[in-house]
């Protein structure tokens, strides 16, 4: 990778043109110093690179087989992000973003025989641009978060790197009753809106912490969402989101309502809840899920216990439950977290398969 | 097996209504907006190599 054209000098507030080619390593090493000397608000354009690596050991037991795997933690996958920003004028900023994930053996997809975890080298997450007006809001175009993506995943516990409402990220490919059975990821869903997709999206400006969003992926796939985040004197925090989505393309969702709320109190205790329901084309099932989490943050340490239930996600009468615990140690100055989480998954369905146990332990390093 | 989906749906709707009302009350009680970062984003804060900025500035003018 090469940096081209003008680049900020080591002297704050002055500019100079460096020779055309600058080696990537030199640019990366110099970047923190340059960033530290840049005064925000005076820059017209910038291109930044960020990313993280999140690797873990996953142990899973489906009642018949027990194995350990080396995985990429799908709770927050290994990825890179390139973000270019600039201004059209005083009121409108513009940005372009490319974010890809690179997962070798995803914890959410690998099965008990160690297959299925690697989808490809680069997987698209965001390939989008936006126009952000000071007074009229933000317009997005391209592959990225639909308006409702994330509405089920509001969580202030500090343990989301290993446990949050998307519980299938830990061991979603492990199947009840062994290979050929129902996978955890198939019988549980947190109904997190419409995920990421090629779409057009609009966000209102924030009104006292509230924003409303809408997006359209095509004539049969669209959604709206509302979000709130607020803090009391920099102490207690509240975040909440709710969304309504229609997706008649893939699995025939006539409507989906989902949301979540999380409160972090001054004492470090947090309470988080999420829920969702779907109305399917043709009926026959009433998919729904509930999730609850109790957390405690003390300094750099975060603990949580959580429980979830999902009904009729894959078949009528099916009932899935899960209970988990998690611990995260945050080395904030080094951009590093180490974590461990454990979870038991149960499925009430004909045949009464054994419970699935899983433990995920690893580290996320933001570079 | 008894279909328990519909009772759960009703409970979910009630909880959602409570959550929305709670957020509305919170907004009217002196809360200040802050920038919540979604759980599936690269977390804010310093990076191991990038330092306090948490990102590398490849180009800026």
pTM equals 0.85
**A192 pLDDT tier (thresholds 50, 70, 90):** very high
Query: Is there a contact between A356 and A183 (Cβ–Cβ < 8 Å)?
Result: no
Closest C-alpha among B12, B43, B45, B21 to residue A238: B21
Contact A230 B48 (CB under 8 A): no
**B11 pLDDT tier (thresholds 50, 70, 90):** low
**A291 pLDDT tier (thresholds 50, 70, 90):** very high
Q: Which residues pair with A16 in a beta bridge?
A: A7
Residue B16 reports pLDDT greater than 90: no
Residue A230 reports pLDDT greater than 70: yes
User: Which chain A residue shows the shortest CA-CA distance from B41?
Assistant: A76
User: Which chain A residue shows the shortest CA-CA distance from B21?
Assistant: A240
Residues of chain B in contact with residue A37, where contact means CB-CB under 8 angstroms, are none
- The residue with greater pLDDT, B33 or A6, is B33
ipTM for the whole complex: 0.83
Q: Write the DSSP assignment of A85-130 as a string of letters.
A: EEESSSSEEEEEEEEEE--SSBTTT--TTS-S----S-EEEEEEEE
Give me A97's structure tokens: 């973003």
| C-beta neighbour count of A190 within 10 angstroms | 24
Of B12, B49, B54, the CB nearest to A276: B12
Contact A237 B34 (CB under 8 A): yes
Quote the percentage of chain A above a pLDDT of 70.
87
Alpha-carbon distance of A291 to A276, in angstroms, equals 9
User: Which chain B residue shows the shortest CA-CA distance from A50?
Assistant: B55
> How confident is the model over A333-361, as pLDDT tens digits?
999 999 999 999 999 999 899 999 999 99
- Across the range A47-68, mean pLDDT stands at 97
- The residue with greater pLDDT, A41 or A242, is A242
**A252 pLDDT tier (thresholds 50, 70, 90):** confident
Q: How many residues does chain A have?
A: 367
Contact A47 B26 (CB under 8 A): no
> How confident is the model over A93-138, as pLDDT tens digits?
999 999 999 999 999 999 999 988 776 678 999 999 999 999 999 9
């Amino acid at each position: 990778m090469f940096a081209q054209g003008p680049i900020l000098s080591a002297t704050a507030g002055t500019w100079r043109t460096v020779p055309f080619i600058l080696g990537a390593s030199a640019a990366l090493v110099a970047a923190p110093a340059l960033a530290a000397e840049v005064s925000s608000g005076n820059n017209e354009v910038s291109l930044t690179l960020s990313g993280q690596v999140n690797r873990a050991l996953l142990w899973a037991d489906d009642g018949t087989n027990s194995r350990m795997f080396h995985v990429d933690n799908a709770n927050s996958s290994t990825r890179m992000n390139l973000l270019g920003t600039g201004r059209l004028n005083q009121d409108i900023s513009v940005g372009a973003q490319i974010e890809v994930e690179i997962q070798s053996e995803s914890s959410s997809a690998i099965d008990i025989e160690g297959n299925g975890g690697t989808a490809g080298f680069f997987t698209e997450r965001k390939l989008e641009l936006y126009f952000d007006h000071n007074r009229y809001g933000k317009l997005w175009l391209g592959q990225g978060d639909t308006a409702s993506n994330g509405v089920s995943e509001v969580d202030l516990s500090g343990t989301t790197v290993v446990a949050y409402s998307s519980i299938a990220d830990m061991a979603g490919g492990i199947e009840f009753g062994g290979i050929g059975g129902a996978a955890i990821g198939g019988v549980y869903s947190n109904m997190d809106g419409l995920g990421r997709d090629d779409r057009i999206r609009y966000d209102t400006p924030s009104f006292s912490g509230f924003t409303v969003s809408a997006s359209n992926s095509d004539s049969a796939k669209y959604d709206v969402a509302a979000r709130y985040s607020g803090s009391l004197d920099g102490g207690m925090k509240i975040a909440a989101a709710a969304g309504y989505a229609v997706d008649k393309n893939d699995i025939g969702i006539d409507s989906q309502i989902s949301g979540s709320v999380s409160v972090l109190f001054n004492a470090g205790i947090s309470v988080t809840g999420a829920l969702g329901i779907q109305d399917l084309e043709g009926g026959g099932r009433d998919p729904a899920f509930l999730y609850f989490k109790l957390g405690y943050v003390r300094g750099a340490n975060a603990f949580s216990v959580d429980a979830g239930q999902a009904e009729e996600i894959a078949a009528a009468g099916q009932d899935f439950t899960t209970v988990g615990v998690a611990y995260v140690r945050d080395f904030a100055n080094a951009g590093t977290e180490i974590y461990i989480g454990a979870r038991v998954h149960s499925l009430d369905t004909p045949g009464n398969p054994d419970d699935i146990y899983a433990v995920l332990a690893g580290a996320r390093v933001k570079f | 097996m008894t279909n328990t989906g519909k009772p759960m749906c009703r409970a979910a709707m009630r909880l959602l209504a409570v959550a929305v009302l709670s957020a509305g009350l919170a907004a009217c009680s002196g809360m200040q907006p802050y920038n919540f970062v979604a759980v599936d984003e690269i977390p804010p804060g310093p990076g191991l190599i990038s330092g306090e900025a948490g990102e590398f500035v490849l180009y800026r003018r």
